[in-house]
């Protein structure tokens, strides 16, 4: 009753990497740009390791490459971080997994160590989609100044916890 009086809970989603903030529609892979996996943003990765964009449980780490991982928050938001395009076929030595599936993690904790030089040598597109895979169920507000340098651990998305 009186659900319109309930205050919406907002969850901050922070940048998991340093880089230039891009619209998800700018990603060359249609799986991301056409939002087949959900809505979000992309970051043109420049340097550093990869950190958790939200607190929650690591729901998946894509094996064997460890190029992508998902986190499910206690509110039910599912966030996927996918480092680079066409990275699924990479073998070991590029991404070093620091956290395991099923572990609880806090926003800003390091999840992956990255050998950027190896990615550059292999001519990998370093765009990094950050996707809310169940975005259809939530209101999403993008607090992004596109084409600007984003700093790891700064808020880039707000997800309002109010089921549609």
Residues that are catalytic = 82
CA–CA separation, 136 vs 150, rounded Å? 25
DSSP secondary structure string, 82-144?
Answer: E-SSS-TT--TTSEEE-S-TT-EE-TT-EEEEE-HHHHHHTT---EEEEEETTGGGSEEEE--
DSSP secondary structure string, 29-86?
Answer: SHHHHTTSS-EEEEEEEEES-EE-SSSEEEEEE-TTT--EEEEE-TTS-EEEEE-SSS
Closest CA to 43 of 163, 154, 140, 121: 154
Closest CA to 32 of 124, 140, 129: 129
DSSP summary character for residue 146: T
């Amino acid at each position: 009753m009186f659900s319109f009086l309930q205050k919406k809970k907002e969850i901050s989603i922070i940048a998991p990497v340093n880089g230039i903030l891009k619209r998800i529609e700018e990603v060359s892979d249609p799986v991301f740009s056409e939002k087949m996996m959900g809505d979000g943003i992309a970051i043109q990765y420049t340097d550093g390791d990869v950190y958790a964009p939200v607190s929650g449980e690591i729901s998946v780490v894509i094996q064997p490459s460890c190029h992508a991982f998902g986190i499910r928050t206690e509110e039910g938001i599912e966030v996927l971080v996918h480092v680079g395009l066409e990275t699924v076929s990479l073998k070991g030595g590029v991404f070093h997994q620091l956290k395991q599936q099923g572990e609880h993690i806090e926003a800003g904790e390091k999840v992956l160590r990255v050998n950027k030089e190896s990615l550059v040598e292999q001519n990998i597109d370093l765009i990094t989609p950050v996707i809310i895979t169940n975005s259809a169920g939530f209101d999403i507000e993008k607090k992004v100044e596109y084409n600007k340098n984003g700093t790891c651990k700064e808020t880039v998305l707000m997800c309002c916890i109010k089921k549609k």
